[in-house]
Structure 1
Amino acid sequence: MKRIFLLGALSAVFLTSCVSSKKYAELQSKHKETQDLLNSATVKLNSCLAEKENYKEQMDLLKANNKELINNMGNLTTLTSKGADNLEKSLESLREKDLTIRKLQNAVTRRDSVNLALVQSLKGVLGNLDDEDINISVEKGVVYVNISDKLLFSSGSTTVSARAKEVLGKVATVVKNKPDFEFMVEGHTDTVPIRTSAIKDNWDLSVLRATSVVRILQDEFGVAPARMTAAGRSQYVPVASNDTKDGKAKNRRTRIVILPKLDQFYSMIEEGMKDPKIN
């Protein structure tokens, strides 16, 4: 009987022990699964935290860039405003320069028109004179009347010939009708030296011939003396070579230089400034 009881007790203990091991294994398996899930969640959490930190750094960088862009836009606005001001000043300066240039061009155009009219008048009154004796030209806005000494003077003389007085009278008629012009009478010689009791050298000869022409224009044709200048250039402004006879003949000449008064030229500019086409 006791033996049977002992065996029953042992069987109960054994069965109880078997059930506990099975449950333990189940629990251990669930624990492992739970631990695996926890580890996986921890990894994901750490990954999310890392991404969050990365996003935070990117957000800070974007904020900094945004702030810099805003500052740059402000600076750009300032620079654009200054650039616009500078551009406007430059344009205004260009407009002023363009206006000045147009005023000067207008004055020069008017001067050239007056000179052209003067040349036509001179050519009209002088008629068909030989080109070797008299030549009219315009250079740099100045009218030149070149008269050969063959027409004006005898060799070595300062006395104006009768034929030359006729020519000077026609020139006087034109210049008297142009009161806004002044003119200079220049005497020129060749390189052949001269020395007499009254003439020391070619300087004297060129000046004396110029003053002879000026006196004729003043005394016989009524040209205002204040409008005239007598000048001698001697042999130093040749128009041809002095090595030939023809060249020397061309260099022996009297030149009348007709030019507008400076104040008249300024007046042209001032009148141009009043021109509605300019202003």
Structure 2
Amino acid sequence: MKIIGISTAVVAIAIFGSSCVSNKKFAALQGTYGELQNDYKALNDKYQDCQREMTGSTTRVRSLEEQIAQQRAGLRSLQDALNKCLNSSSQGNVNISKLVDEINASNRYIQQLVNSKNKSDSLNMVLTNNLTRSLSREEMRDVDVQVLKGVVYISLSDKMLYRSGSYEISPAAGETLSKIAKIITDYRDYEVLIEGNTDNVPISQKNIRNNWDLSALRASSVVQALQTTYGVDPKRLTAGGRGEYNPIASNDAEEGRSRNRRTQIIITPKLDQFMELIDKAPEKADSVSPTGQPVTGS
């Protein structure tokens, strides 16, 4: 605006002063005016350039601001993702720690079970040894002894105990029964159940109705022999028959039927006797390893 004002003043001076100035001065003023016009044009061009540069700079600044805003938003998103990852990792570490604790607890429980099994196996060996110590190898062929959870199962084959198809005890069974009676007498506080079992072949005797009768009569014969012949206290004895309904083998073959025809003597220790036997169980010698193999103490 200042440049325009100067140009106007020069023109006015030229107009009003043309009548009172010489041609020489007028020409000089004309030259000055031309220079001013050129200066004005140059300045106006620079102004326009500056305006364009300012507009471009404003556009670039706006674009940069948008890019900065996008970068900040991306940074916030990355930070949130990182925080979630760190939280998940921390939670994962907690879960892993809990899992490790559970595994360790399970391992300790398994070890306790193994130790209990070893103790139980040692107790079973003590009971078995005590119960079979007086039986010969020949007698053990017809006598099966098992100890399960402190309960003793002595299974006697019918061919050793009775005459065929009868409930009368044979003379050959006397020696074996006397030894079993000695075992029962040694453990005087134990309860004794005599249980008769048969195969599934029907019995054909006038005085025996079925296998139920036969099994009960055979059990009763053993009970009475233990009482009257070998002096076992009858208050400790119980006779029972299970007929053909408690097989331990298939009745389809003679071998299986022979195994099923048996009389089982079940000796159950009372709690005080059971605890006494636990105290007798060896701690080191003749124990059983977790793999099931005998371990001999040094």
Query: Aligned ranges for residues 150-161 of structure 1 at < 5 Å?
Result: 150-161=159-170
Matching residue within 203, 206, 213 for 1:196: 206
Shift of 1:232: 1.4
Matches within 5 A, 1:16-31: 16-31=29-44
Offset of 1:48 from its aligned partner? Answer: 2.1
Alpha-carbon distance change, 22 to 232 in structure 1, aligned in 2, over 3 angstroms: same
Aligned position for 1:124:
133
Aligned residue number for residue 218 of structure 1: 227
Residues 1:14 and 2:27 aligned together: yes
Aligned-residue offset at 1:264: 6.8
SS in 2 for 1:41: helix
Structure 1 match to 2:87: 76
Cα shift at 1:204: 0.7
Partner of 1:252: 261
Query: What letter corresponds to residue 29 of structure 2 in structure 1?
Result: T
Unaligned runs of 5+ in 1: 1-5
Distance 1:11 1:87, change over 3 A: same
Matched, 1:230 2:277: no
Secondary structure of the residue that 1:126 maps to in structure 2?
Answer: coil
CA RMSD of aligned residues (A): 4.4
Asked whether the equivalents of residues 144 and 255 of structure 1 are also in contact (C-alpha less than 8 Å), the reply is: yes
1:176 aligns with 2:220: no
Tell whether 2:165 aligns with 1:148.
no
Residue 149 (structure 1) shift: 2.4
Structure 2, unaligned runs of 5 or more: 1-18, 284-298
**Does structure 1 retain, via aligned residues, the 8 Å contact 2:195–2:216?**
yes
SS in 2 for 1:154: coil
Q: What percent of counterpart residues are identical?
A: 28
1:163 aligned onto 2:172: yes
Report the AA paired with residue 193 of structure 1. I
Q: Distance in 2 between matches of 1:210 and 1:193?
A: 16
Aligned to 2:7: none
TM normalised by structure 2 equals 0.64
Change (3 A) 1:239 1:228: farther
1:138 aligned residue: 146
Kindly indicate whether the alpha-carbon contact (under 8 Å) linking 2:181 and 2:226 is maintained by their aligned counterparts in 1: yes
Contact between 2:162 and 2:169, CA under 8 Å: does it hold in 1?
A: yes
Q: Partner of 2:46 in structure 1?
A: 33
Deviates more, 1:219-228 or 1:183-192: 219-228
Runs of 4+ aligned structure 1 residues displaced above 6 Å come to none
Would the aligned equivalents of 2:191 and 2:237 in 1 still touch at CA under 8 Å? yes
Quickly say closer, same or farther: Cα 1:265–1:14, change in 2 above 3 A: farther
